[in-house]
Structure formats: structure tokens, C-alpha cells
Amino acid sequence: MNKEASIYGKQTRISEWFIYGAIYLSAAFATLLLVFIIVYVAFKGAGVINWEFLTTVTSTLKHTVGIAGNIVNTLYIVVITLLIAVPIGVGSAVYLNEYARPGRLVNIIEFTTETLAGIPSIIFGLFGMVFFGEVIGLGYSLLTGSLTLTLMILPLITRNTQEALRTVPDSYRNGALGMGAGKWYMIRTILLPSAMPGIITGIILSIGRIVGESAALLFTAGSGYLLPRAGAFFHKILESGGTLTIQMYLSTSKAEYDVAFGIALVLLILVLVMNLLTKFLAKHFDVNRER
Amino acid sequence: MREKGLSIIGTKAAKSAVETTAKYIFTVCSICAVLAVASITIYMIYSGAPAIFKVGPLDILFGTAWEPTSAEPSYGILYIILTSIIGTAMAILIGVPVGVLTAVFLAEVAPPKLAAVVKPAVELLAGIPSVIYGLLGLLILNPIMYKLELWIFKDSDTHQFTGGANLLSAIIVLAIMILPTVINISESSLKAVHGSLKSASLALGASKIQTIFKVLLPAAKSGVITAIVLGVGRAIGEAMAITLVCGSAVNFPLPFNAVRFLTTAIVSEMGYAADLHRQVLFTIGLVLFVFIMIINLCLSKLLKKGVSNDE
């Protein structure tokens, strides 16, 4: 370092260029990694995906390889999980934001929500397998998988709804209450509609989580890949069914890399769409969302 | 904070019944999370603890031989625990510097146009299902590792060749998978540092790099630590991606050994395990759960500290 450095001369420090280099390199790594993943998967998977792949189930008799069953299973799991988790998650957020007074109960609820968000999916899988599968007796079924995932995405929905409720100005509440609305009426007609973009963001993030989930489903929803029989759509929820991710894992471990890349591409496209949807929502409704 | 609503429509009794019901329903909803954590804790202990006493706490936690299916089975999970700890630590060692530097890039260095490319890329990385990381690790990383392995151990007679499915591959995959978590949290904590600190430092003549590393990062310390702790949680709990790349044999965690993590032991054996073997797998789950609970407690302490610092 120059001891007689003048305040007019700009010092150049070689070491700083290295640090800048490291910073740019790190950022470039993260970005190029994504580009690489997308290009590689698209390149390998594009050849596999065709109409037959998407609309048939794998069958040695008919010589078809397809993932229609897995797509349907994924839809089942997404719908059932959201049907259970969204009311509970939103209700919980409403309680925490609108009813609860700061105190022990709130602390416990917030701590457990935090904890639930930190538990790895494999633990949910073990718990789901024992509790929903064996104690309640649902076995390997789509319902077991959905109930397990419900626990997993609950914090995501609660957190996003809370975030959205916080951005609703207090004047809305006071206005509604001042005009004589009951609290429940106020929540139903003012708060929830105002918080809707945040709730939907939470739902989309949850769908992304569910679609990408594998460890929690392997031992709860099982790995069935058949389409539901005609007229047994409802009964299907008590049968085993592997989602796209599960099928992809199984195909990979059986070294059927073509199928795996086909599914990987489908999953990537889904993830991209979800991501764009959340972006769109955040932009158009100006929800300040923090993760 | 808000008074009970009085309405001119409907009788007061009917209204208050609805209000009370609504309140109770919301309360029940919020208690679901508590019930979930409580029952997960109870069931993890209930299904994981018996094997500890059947095998013996020392034999299971500090035993090194994992032969659950042999005629005289032994259930030592020390190597599995060590693999998880070392694997996670190494992944953090690699992932955190890259992540924090990227966060610095996004928060301080990047021109807005570049940041507008990098930020969404990081968000997308977070959303990629872990199985995809596993598949790519298996098909891209493992062959590279195999070549490296052939080259390093070409004269060794004792080394068991793994075909590249080893601890090092798993560490790299884990390091990549924790990147988005580390980047996002560190970036938002860097951005939350009050602007006056930065201005003061720059006005005193510190260069931008000096400001970032001697003022901003120390000020954002609790956020960066939170990011690291979250990264540890994510890495230690990751299962499917590393199942595919780690080789899945119980060995001492050396870089070029095929290894088995806490999570991958469960994934790869739960399908066929029975009786005591199965119970031991639940014990592995319990060990993992204990690790996670410790991490969660640290996290909630950190977050509370962060809040009191802000006030």
C-alpha cells in the first residue's frame, strides 16, 4: 500500500480485483448452473416427450412407455393436499393475525410453524408412513401422501397468508367494524379478498413444493403408475400412486434415463410456469412477499 | 385490539354465536401446527427409541459395523452419522462462500440489469426438484469423479473403486442445493443494513470492497448466520438427490469412499427392512430429527435476536 496516498489519486488495490473476480465468478456460477441444467435436461428430454409419452401408461404388453398415470396421481395429490391444507393454513394465519393476543399460545404456534418448515421431507415421510399409513390404517395411498404433504406445506400457506394480511391497512378493519360488520363478516368480506393475491402466491409455491417432492411420498403414496379405473375416480385416493417425481426417481434408479429425462423436462416446465405465475401475481398485486 | 362488532342486522345472540364459532374454528386451525409437531416428535421417539435399547445405546450410536441382514446382524450407525455431519460441513464450507459472494453481488455490486438476470435464476434454482439434481449428479458428476478416482488411486491396491459415486459427489450436489437458501437470506439481510452505515464508511474513504466486507457483512452477521443454519438444515435433511450419487455403502466418510447418509440409509433400506432392522432405520430417523430440532432451536434463538437488534 502506498503510504503517501493522496485523496485525489484513486488507489487501485490488486487484492480487490481478486475479490471482485470472486464475486462475479460466484454469481456467474449460480446463473450458468441454471442455464446448464435447463439446456441439458431440455436437450436430453425433448426427444422423449411426445403425445404417447404423456397420454399412456407404461405397459410391457402394449409396448408403451408413458407417464399418464403419474400425471394423474400428481394432480390427485396436489388437489387433495390443497383442499386440506389451504383452509387450515389460512385459518391459522387469520387466527394469528386477527384474533390472537401476544402471549404464550402465539409463541408456541409460531415456534411450531417455524419448526414444521424446517423438518426435512424424509422425516415427514417416516411420520406419514407410521401415523397415517399404519396407525390410521390408510396404507400406501394417495390420501396418506396428501395428508403427509399437508403437514409439510402448512407453514408455507400460513406464512404467505400472514404476510398478506399484514399488508391490509388497519383502516379497512376499522372501517368495516365501524360500519357495524361483525368480525367474521369483516374477515370474510374485507380481509380475505384483500389478502387473496398473497394466499394464491402461497398456493402456487405449495404446488411447486408438492410437484417437486419425493422423499415424503416414497413411503406414503407408494409408486403405482396406473390410471384410475373408469368409475373409480374417488376410490383411487385409497390406492397407491406415484407422482412424477417418484416415477423419475424410480426410473433413474432402474437406469431408465430416457424416461427420467422426459419426466425431468416436464417437471422443469412445471417449475418454470409456477415461478412465472408467482412473479406475475407479485407484480400485478404488488404483494410484498418475503421468503 | 379490535372491539366486538355490533350490528343492527340480526339478533345479537345469533351473531355472537357465529362470531364465537368462527373464532374457535380459527383457533383450532392454528393449533394444527402444534399438534403436528407434537405428534411427529412423539412418533419419532416412539418408533425410534425401542431399537436403541434393544441393540444397546453404545453399540448402535458408536458401533461401526452396519450389517443388518447378516446372520448375526450388527447395527452400528456411527459411520452413517459421521457421514452426515462431515458431508454437511463440507457442503457448507463450499456452498456458503459462493452463496454469500453471490448475495454480495446481488445486493451491492451488480448493475441492475445483471441483477435482474441473476436473481430470477437463483429463485428458479430453488424450485428445481431434488431428484433432478440427483439425476444430473449421477450422469455428469459421477463420471468425472470416476476419472479422478482412477487417476488418484491408479497405484493403490486397497482402494475400493466406486465408479464415482462417492462422498465428494454428494458434497458437491449438496453445496449446490443449499446455494439458493444461502443467497436469498444473506441478500435480504445485506439489503436490510441501514444505508447510513454504508454512506459513513464510503465517506471515510473506505473502498467499496472494504465497506462490504468490514461494514456491511458484519452488520448483516445475524442474517448470514441464519442463512448458514438454514443451509445446514437443508443439507442434513436432503435425501433423494444424494441417494443417487453417494454410492450407498456404509463406509468411513473419506472423499472417495462410497458412503451412506442418515437420510439415504432410510431411503435405500426402508423398502425391504423388517423387524429390528426397520426399527433401527427409525432410530436413524430419530437421530436426524434430533439434529434438526437442535438446528431449529438455534434458528429461533437467532431470529429472536435479530428482531431485538432491529428494535
Strand segments (E) across chain A: 57-59, 64-67
Give the residues across from B287 on adjacent strands: none
Checking if the pLDDT of B9 tops 90, the result is no
SS3 content of chain B, % helix, strand, coil (to 5): 75, 0, 25
Supply the CATH number for residue A99's domain: 1.10.3720.10
Q: Which of A154, A155, A180 sits opposite B6 (nearest CB)?
A: A180
Averaged confidence pLDDT in chain A: 87
Count CB atoms within 10 A of the CB of residue A284: 9
* DSSP code, position A220: T
Residues 181-200 (B) with a CB less than 8 A from some CB of A: 183-184, 188
Separation in Å, CA B226 to CA A243, B20, B90, B305: 33, 39, 18, 11
Residue B3 pLDDT class (50, 70, 90 cuts): very low
Chain A residues within an 8 Å CB radius of B134: 249, 252
- The C-alpha cell at B182 is 444461502
Task: Match 362488532 to its residue by C-alpha cell.
Answer: B5
- The C-alpha cell at A215 is 422423499
* Gap from B28 CA to chain A (nearest CA, Å): 8
- Is A242 a domain residue? yes
Query: How high is the pLDDT of residue A139?
Result: 86
Task: Tell me how far apart the alpha carbons of residues A192 and A184 are, in angstroms, rounded to a whole number.
Answer: 10
Task: Tell me how far apart the alpha carbons of residues A6 and A3 are, in angstroms, rounded to a whole number.
Answer: 9
Q: Which of A34, A114, A183 sits opposite B19 (nearest CB)?
A: A183
Task: Tell me how far apart the alpha carbons of residues A63 and B122 are, in angstroms, rounded to a whole number.
Answer: 40
Which contiguous run of DSSP H or E holds residue B77? none
Residue A289 pLDDT class (50, 70, 90 cuts): very low
Q: Check CB contact under 8 Å for A95 and B132.
A: no
A113-132 pLDDT, tens digit each: 989 998 999 999 999 999 99
Query: How high is the pLDDT of residue A2?
Result: 52
Task: Tell me how far apart the alpha carbons of residues A268 and B237 are, in angstroms, rounded to a whole number.
Answer: 22
Q: Check CB contact under 8 Å for B7 and A180.
A: yes
Chain B residues within an 8 Å CB radius of A20: 109, 209
Residue B153 pLDDT class (50, 70, 90 cuts): confident
Q: Does B24 touch chain A (CB under 8 A)?
A: no
Residue B273 pLDDT class (50, 70, 90 cuts): confident
Instruction: Say what percent of chain A tops pLDDT 90.
Output: 52
Q: Is B224 helix (H, G, I), strand (E, B) or coil?
A: helix
Q: Check CB contact under 8 Å for B134 and A249.
A: yes
Query: Degrees (nearest 5) of the Cα angle B154, B160, B164?
Result: 80
Closest residue on chain A to B140 (Cα): A40
Specify whether the CB–CB gap between B224 and B147 falls below 8 A: no
Specify whether the CB–CB gap between B100 and B224 falls below 8 A: yes
Checking if the pLDDT of A88 tops 80, the result is yes
Checking if the pLDDT of A86 tops 80, the result is yes
Q: What is the span of the domain harbouring residue A270?
A: 69-285
User: Per-domain residue ranges for chain B?
Assistant: 12-57, 58-310
Residue A4 pLDDT class (50, 70, 90 cuts): low
- Is A274 a domain residue? yes
Q: Is A149 helix (H, G, I), strand (E, B) or coil?
A: helix
Chain A residues within an 8 Å CB radius of B274: none
Strand segments (E) across B132-252: none
- Is A179 a domain residue? yes
Task: Tell me how far apart the alpha carbons of residues B246 and B253 are, in angstroms, rounded to a whole number.
Answer: 11
Task: Tell me how far apart the alpha carbons of residues B100 and A27 are, in angstroms, rounded to a whole number.
Answer: 10
Give the residues across from A145 on adjacent strands: none
* DSSP code, position B137: I
Each residue of B266-293: b (16+ CB within 10 Å) or e? Answer: bbbbbeebeeebbbbbbbbbbbbbebbb
Q: Does A104 touch chain B (CB under 8 A)?
A: no
Amino acid sitting at position A260:
A
Q: Check CB contact under 8 Å for A30 and B183.
A: yes
A127-157 pLDDT, tens digit each: 999 999 989 888 899 999 999 999 999 999 9
Q: Check CB contact under 8 Å for B132 and A41.
A: yes
Amino acid sitting at position B178:
I
- Is A257 a domain residue? yes
* Mean local confidence (pLDDT), A5-17: 71
* DSSP code, position B74: E
The residue ranking higher by pLDDT, B71 or A41, is A41
Q: What is the ipTM, given to two decimal places? A: 0.88
Task: Match 452419522 to its residue by C-alpha cell.
Answer: B81
Give the residues across from B67 on adjacent strands: B74
- Is A252 a domain residue? yes
How many domains does chain A divide into? 1
Checking if the pLDDT of B194 tops 70, the result is yes
Query: How high is the pLDDT of residue A227?
Result: 81
CATH 1.10.3720.10, domain B58-310, yes or no: yes
Each residue of B126-145: b (16+ CB within 10 Å) or e? Answer: bbbbbbbbbbbbbbebbeeb
Q: Is B67 helix (H, G, I), strand (E, B) or coil?
A: strand
B249-255: long-range contacts (C-beta < 8 A, 24 or more apart)?
B249/B162, B250/B66, B250/B79, B250/B80, B251/B79, B252/B64, B252/B79, B252/B82, B253/B79, B253/B82, B253/B83, B253/B86, B253/B87, B253/B167, B254/B167, B255/B166, B255/B167, B255/B168, B255/B171
* Gap from B50 CA to chain A (nearest CA, Å): 15
Which contiguous run of DSSP H or E holds residue A71? helix A68-94
Count CB atoms within 10 A of the CB of residue B163: 13
Specify whether the CB–CB gap between B166 and B138 falls below 8 A: no
- The C-alpha cell at B114 is 445483471
Residues 62-91 (A) with a CB less than 8 A from some CB of B: 87-91
- The C-alpha cell at A90 is 389460512
**Which residues 6+ apart lie within 8 Å of B174 measured at CB?**
B87, B88, B91, B95, B235, B238, B241, B242
* Helix and strand counts by DSSP (H, E) for chain A: 12, 2
